[in-house]
Amino acid sequence: MKLQLRPYQADDFETLYQMDQVCYERGIAYSRRTLREFLGMPGAATWVALAGADVAGFLIALCDASQGHIVTLDVAPTERRRGVGSALVAKAEREMAATGVRVVELETAVDNAPAILFWQKHGYRAAGIYRRYYRNRTDAFWMVKTL
């Protein structure tokens, strides 16, 4: 099935919230309030991946001048390893670069080996560690990529 990427629409909210709860454990998944805050921040851009009529994943990024930040990348468990995450990252990086972003950063849990490998495959490198970054006190790698 062909993947379609489109900008976030307000009626996507509940689907994205539910997906985030499935994709991340308690202490890492966002509350409704926090997710709404990220979606509404100045410089926020959110892309939704559709597989047919179903949401397959989404990515939220923040842009501020030459700096970009990937807030979250969520892919439905049934859609993993099918290129959804890679398509969303490529779209986000293209769009951010077009607005003048030159460096993109993100955080990922130090114990999430599949995520670390995914980000490394896409050119991100660990630049440091944030101790007890998540609410569950898990450390996070701070990862960076120059576009």
Candidates 6, 86, 91, 96; CA nearest to 43 is 96
pLDDT tens sequence across 95-122? 999 999 999 999 999 999 999 999 999 9
The arithmetic mean of pLDDT across residues 19-29, rounded, is 91
Q: Which residue has the tokens 């308690």?
A: 26
Predicted confidence at residue 2, as pLDDT, reads 86
Q: Which residue has the tokens 């995520």?
A: 115
- Say which CATH topology domain 3-146 has: Aminopeptidase (3.40.630)
Q: How confident is the model at residue 22 (pLDDT cuts 50, 70, 90)?
A: very high
- Domain map (residue ranges) of the chain: 3-146
Predicted confidence at residue 1, as pLDDT, reads 63
Predicted confidence at residue 46, as pLDDT, reads 97
φ, ψ of residue 15 in degrees (nearest 5):
-65, -45
φ, ψ of residue 33 in degrees (nearest 5):
-60, -50
Q: How confident is the model at residue 29 (pLDDT cuts 50, 70, 90)?
A: very high
Reduced 3-state DSSP string for the chain: CCEEEEECCHHHHHHHHHHHHHHCCCCCCCCHHHHHHHHHCCCEEEEEEEECCEEEEEEEEEEECCEEEEEEEEECHHHCCCCHHHHHHHHHHHHHHHCCCCEEEEEEECCCHHHHHHHHHCCCEEEEEECCCCCCCCCEEEEEEEC
Q: What is the pTM of this model?
A: 0.93
Cβ-proximal residues to 89 (8 Å cutoff; 6+ apart), any chain: 59, 70, 73, 122
How does the average pLDDT of the chain come out, rounded?
Answer: 95
pLDDT tens sequence across 119-145? 999 999 999 999 988 877 889 999 999
Sign of the dihedral defined by the CA atoms of residues 49, 105, 116, 33, in that order: negative
